[in-house]
């Protein structure tokens, strides 16, 4: 009988056009498929928990696949990592029920967005944070960010091109904090629309700059008008940080 296996990995997305397979671009899914197939000697398609965009990173990403081979689960991370580039690393593997799917069994995610708030760029944050040279008031941004909490229609925070019809999502927690020159947005919810977190960040930056009035985020959400929200912040500051599953499938 085939086994259903869940892998947990992290990756630096700087050199990839996101997770999902593409015909003419390098993706993380392509490298994972190649590595898993090399280990199991099967034509395996690894299914991911999310479709991260070009340049987006993951501190935690989950993917699942089925195999008929009996390789011990505890050996799988080392075996797969042998065939992976150094910017992708598997750090967990376990058996999951046959009904489990890395994407459709997911009940929530947490994202981080990092901003390096300094006049001068830091090479250690290059392609891993947004360089923003003007002062960010993290106390103000944290207060404004609380308006995103709860269940809303986030149509105004979704990029054009999305084919998703149901745009109602529930944000469970959100906060903005600072550690030295790094300002971080941390946000979790039951799901996120295309570029939703990056538009939230762009909107908060616009509030900081005075381009969007303080206290107006609830009105922008209610308007469902993309033109009233801020810009889409660049991809390099975004990290998929945690993935959540129910019961025995919770990671």
Handedness of CA 110, 185, 204, 17 (dihedral sign): negative
Nearest to 125 by CA among 240, 200, 238, 237: 237
Q: Which is catalytic among the residues 53, 87, 153, 225?
A: 53
Handedness of CA 227, 228, 234, 240 (dihedral sign): negative
Nearest to 78 by CA among 64, 65, 68, 91: 91
> Does the annotation count 53 as an active-site position?
yes
Handedness of CA 22, 158, 126, 128 (dihedral sign): negative
In terms of DSSP H, where are the helices of 134-238?
A: 138-145, 196-209, 217-223
Catalytic residues: 53
């Amino acid at each position: 009988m085939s086994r259903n296996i869940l892998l947990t990995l992290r990756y630096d997305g700087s050199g990839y056009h996101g997770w999902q397979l593409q015909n003419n671009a390098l993706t993380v899914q392509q490298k994972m498929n190649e590595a898993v197939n090399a280990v199991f000697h099967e034509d395996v398609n690894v299914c991911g928990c999310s479709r991260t965009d070009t340049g987006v990173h993951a501190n935690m990403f989950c993917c699942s696949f089925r195999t008929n081979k009996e390789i011990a689960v505890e050996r799988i991370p080392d075996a797969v990592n042998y065939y992976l580039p150094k910017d992708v690393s598997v750090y967990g593997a376990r058996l999951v029920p046959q009904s489990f799917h890395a994407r459709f069994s997911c009940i929530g995610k947490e994202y981080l967005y990092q901003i390096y708030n300094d006049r001068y760029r830091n090479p250690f944050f290059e392609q891993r944070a947004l360089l923003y040279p003007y002062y960010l008031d993290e106390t103000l941004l944290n207060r404004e960010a609380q308006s995103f909490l709860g269940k809303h229609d986030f149509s105004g925070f979704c990029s054009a091109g999305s084919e998703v019809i149901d745009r109602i999502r529930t944000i469970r927690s959100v906060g903005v904090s600072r550690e030295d020159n790094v300002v971080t947005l941390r946000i979790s919810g039951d799901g996120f629309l295309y570029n939703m977190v990056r538009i939230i960040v762009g909107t908060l930056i616009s509030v900081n700059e005075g381009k969007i009035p303080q206290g107006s985020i609830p009105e922008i959400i209610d308007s469902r008008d993309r033109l009233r929200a801020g810009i889409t912040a660049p991809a390099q500051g975004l990290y998929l940080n945690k993935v959540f599953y129910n019961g025995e499938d919770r990671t």
